Structure formats: C-alpha cells, structure tokens
Chains A and B, each alone.
Chain A
Amino acid sequence: MIERWLVLAYLLICVAVGALATRRVLGSADEYWVAGRSVGTWVNALAIMASLASGGSLVGVLGLAYRDGIPATLALFAGAVVGFPLATILVAAPLRRLAKFTITDFLVFRYPHAVVRRLTPLLIVVSLTVYMVAQMKAAGITAEALLGVQYETAITVATVVFVLYVSFGGMVAVTVTDVMQGALLFLLMGATAVTLAVSYGSPFGALAEATAAAPAFGRLPGGGSGYLDYFVIWASAIPVIPHIVMRVSTARDPRSARLALNLATVGYGVMILAAILLIAPVGVLEFPGLTDPDAVFLEIVGGHFPAWLRGLAVAAVLAAVMSTTDAFLLAVSSAVAHDLLGDFLARRSPRAQAAARLVATWLVGSAALIWAWSPPELLTRFYTAGVGLLSAGLFVPVVFGIWWRRANLAGGVLALVTGAGVYTLVLVTGPWFGLGPILVALPLSLAAMLIGGTWGRPDPESRSAAVARLHREL
C-alpha cells in the first residue's frame, strides 16, 4: 500500500512543478522551449542524465545483462555514451552560439530549403513518437507488476501527468522534474549497488561468483561485431537527437553546455556500470531461470529491501520513464509548433502562440497514448530503428554543415534525403552485403554531401560568414 502512496505523492509533485512554472513560461517562447537559456551546469547535467536514463536503462539494462551477458549489454549502452563526447566536440558549442531552439532551426539556417524545413520535423515526429510509446509501455508494465494497477490505467495516468506539466511548464518544468528524477534514480541505483556489494563482501564479489557459476554471463563469442550497428546508431544519434540539442540550448554558455553533457554522461556511465557489474550478477546468482529477464531488478529489490524502498523503486522506474518521455514530448511538440508551424505562428499574438504550444503538446501526448494502449511487439527493435532513421538523415548534414567549409545547400539536401531514404530502404529490404541500415546509410549520406559540396553551387558569402562565426571562440 505504501508503494501506491509514494508514487501518488511523486506524481502530484510533478504536476505542482508544472503549475508553478506556468507563469514564467507561457508568455515567452524562449522560456517555454529552452528555459530562458539560463540553466546552470550541474542542474543541466542532472537533467540530461535523467533524460538519458530511460525506463529501458533502469529495468532493461539488468534484464539484458541477465539474458545476454555483460559484454553484449555494455556494447549496447556504450554507443550512446560515446555519442556525448562526439556531441561535445562536434556540435555543442556551435549550436549553443547559434542561440536558437531546435536542430531544425540549425538545419534551416544552414540549408534554407523547403525539403529541409518539412522533412526534418517529420523525421523527428516519427522517430521520437515511437520512442515515447516504448517508454510508456515500460511504465505500464512496471506499474502493473509492482502496484497491481491495470496497464491502461497506469499509462493513462502517467501520460496525463507528464503532458500536464510539459504543456503548462515547458522546459522549466521539464528541467525541475528531471533534476528530481535524476537524483532519485542515481540514489536508488547507488544504494542498491552498495548494499549488494557489502552483502557479498567486496565490490566484485558477486561478479566473480556469477562468472564462475555461469561463464556465458561474461563472454561474447565472436566478439562485438554483431553489435556494431547498434553502437553506431546511438553514437551518431546523440549529437543530433532533438531533446539533447534543446538541452544544449538551455545552457548559459557553450562551455557550460559542454561541461553538462559530460558530467551527465559520467553519472550515467557510473549508473550503468553499477547495474551491470554489481547488481546484475546478484540476479544471475540468486534468481536463475527467470522467464521474464526484465523482472530481475524487481526481484532483487523485492528480495533485499523493505516495502517503502520497493515503493521508491517503482517511483524511480516511473521517474526514469517520465524524465525521458517528457523531454521527447517537448522535442516533438517543438517540431510541430515551432518547426512546422513557426512561420505561421510568428504572425500571431503571444497568447495565440502559447495556445498553439499547449494544443501541440496535448495532441502529440494523446496520439502517443492511444498508440501505447496497443503497442507493437518487438518495441526495442522498433524504436532503435526510429532513432537510426534520425541519425541516418541528420548526422552528416549537421556535422558537415558545421565543420566542412564546402558544405552547401545541394550537399545538405542530398545528404538528408539520401541518409533517410537509404536507411528506410535497407530497413525494408534487409541488410545489403551483410551490413545493417545505418552502416549503409551513413556512408552514402556522406557521399551525397561530398558530391553536392564539390559540384553544387557554393553558398553565398553571407551564409559562409555566418557559419564561420559559430567557430569564433575556437
């Protein structure tokens, strides 16, 4: 019973945060989308860590390690982590200096063409909505298992709560709730890992016992090449994924953005390593033969901790889900209300703009909820494919648009269309020459950029000068 009260209290706090932030954000697009670009380094780092740590990385990381072993699980998560240093080096400072809101803003600034203006937000809406549905499903399953609440009821309540605080509180509410959620996650994961390490006598006591009892747990026959696709998808997605780009835009300055990205990733790396090396081995030793590997976290918590801590665990899983989903919801809403309808809304009053942002957020949240009531199977593969589509289309145009002097309109449009098109084609037709979609699409997107940049019409001097100014501090 105490579990339900803890979760209810947590949800009410989230709604209260949204209500308190309303007055600050509703009159200003800058406040609504990027919290007035005034978020400090540590707060931003915690918020980024929370939005990175999805329900999948809390419950799923332990289930994956339990089923597929340590090396395979580490490979899946290392790609996303490597993406953050790439984002730091390649995009964070120039995008922050541009002082806009979204990744579409940058691409339209760099390649002002109708295809870019329409295709980029569409890619964002499709790929991130798929991801949101996956997160909502994780929340529903967890609440059903631990609280005894019906799946449909659980995801409806959770969705109404985060749509409420996102739609009324914008990035300010998302930041505050993400900080709470990040802290809760970090504390829960840390407390669990330390408690288990103490009970096994040393930090790696359970790991040594588990790899001795089940050698397959530590091995990966054939090496990591089978995971290269996944690694590349996430490493190339993070520098262009919209909710991270929006977080970069909330920072006070480029240096703060770059520090926050890496502080967040160190925290996330510690959590993931603690889960894989300290907690998962306990599951292998104490709960062998589970039919549902994703239940291992809940089994460990149930077996080692009192009821109130189990309640916190449910709240932490919900926090992980909501902190990712709220950031995605804001990013998808911005793709609709800012990227697609921005020009139209710019001619309307601030009140009409605020109303449009609210409506867009509710529409996107409702669509995701309806889909989540009957989600497709193989959701992990489905949302990874969605994120892959985003990186296949955007990585080359963004990175080369920032760094390559000869990048031009023709190259950018060609690279965007080729990357997204080839990725979709390979996804539908199956691997080409044994290579998965991202490993075909990225090189071809790069080739398209080089062809367009070499033989297309050079950009006007004014645009080249504007891009050069993005590098002025380097």
Chain B
Amino acid sequence: MSAFHPMPRRERAALIGLLAFSTVAFLPVVGTLTILGVSLFGWFMAALLLGSPALLLLLVSSERRSRAAPSAKADPNDGGRAA
C-alpha cells in the first residue's frame, strides 16, 4: 500500500506541473530576459496568475458529476462538532 492516499492522475500531473513552472520562474536567468519591455519573470508570473486557476477550472469542470459527494449537512444544533 502507498504511503499516501490516492490522488487522481491528472491532478497529480497538474500539481507537479505547477511546482515545476514556479521553480523555473524563480531561476535567476529568467529575470534577465525581456519581452515587450517586461522581464520574462514577469510574464511567467502573469501566466501563473491566469493559467494556474484556468487549468484547475478545466480539470474540475471535466470531472463527472457522479464523483461529487452529496451534501453532508451537519446537525444545526450540534455546533458542527459531530463528524
């Protein structure tokens, strides 16, 4: 058995991709190049700003409805303390 609980393959790939992209963006060489007068580091950050949530939006919206759990409503008077 794996030491970790299972994560959907596409989400694992997105997580690794995000971490890799962020790491590359912070490499010193990326800050020295410019496009349209703006540092490449700035464009990497702009891509993260829009691209990372857009990617996850695509992933989540393509999930099948059936995988969504039904609403688990807590007892209004238990202070939310019951599991």
Contacts and interface: CB of A to CB of B under 8 A. Distances in A.
Interface of A: 27-31, 33-34, 36-38, 70-71, 74-75, 77-78, 81-82, 84-86, 88-90, 93, 96-101, 105, 109, 204, 207-208, 211-212, 215, 217-225, 228, 231, 235, 252-256, 258-259, 261-263, 265-266, 269-270, 272-273, 276-277, 338, 342-343, 345-346, 350, 353, 402-406, 466-468, 471-474
Nearest to B5: A471
B57 A263 contact: yes
Interface in B1-43: 1-8, 11, 14-15, 18, 22, 25-32, 34, 36-39, 41-42
Given A74-B46, A269-B49, A82 B41 contact: no
Contacts of A261: 53, 56
A142 to B, nearest CB: 25
Contact of A474 (B7, B25, B52, B65): B7
19 contacts: A28-B77, A29-B78, A71-B39, A71-B45, A74-B46, A85-B53, A98-B83, A211-B37, A218-B38, A220-B39, A223-B27, A235-B22, A253-B71, A265-B53, A269-B49, A403-B5, A405-B4, A471-B5, A474-B8
Contacts of A88: 56, 60
Interface in B37-83: 37-39, 41-42, 45-46, 48-50, 52-57, 60-61, 63, 65, 67-81, 83
A74 to B, nearest CB: 4
A379 B65 CA distance: 44
A218 B42 CA distance: 8
Chain A interface helix/strand/loop/mixed:
helix
* A-B complex: 10 closest residue pairs judged by Cβ atoms: A223-B31, A211-B37, A71-B42, A265-B53, A255-B68, A74-B45, A28-B76, A218-B38, A99-B72, A262-B57
B34 A228 contact: no
Contacts of A221: 31
Contacts of A82: 18, 22, 48, 52
A73 to B, nearest CB: 8
Contact of A266 (B2, B57, B72): B57
B41 A223 contact: yes
Nearest to A80: B49
A74 B22 CA distance: 13
Given A224-B25, A405-B4, A338 B79 contact: yes
A350 B78 CA distance: 10
Given A70-B42, A71-B41, A406-B3, A207 B36 contact: yes
A346 B14 contact: no
A276 B55 CA distance: 22
A345 B83 CA distance: 18
A474 B56 contact: no
Given A30-B76, A403-B7, A474-B7, A109 B83 contact: yes
Contacts of B69: 93, 96-97, 253-254, 472-473
A29 B79 contact: yes
B30 A223 contact: yes
Nearest to B47: A78
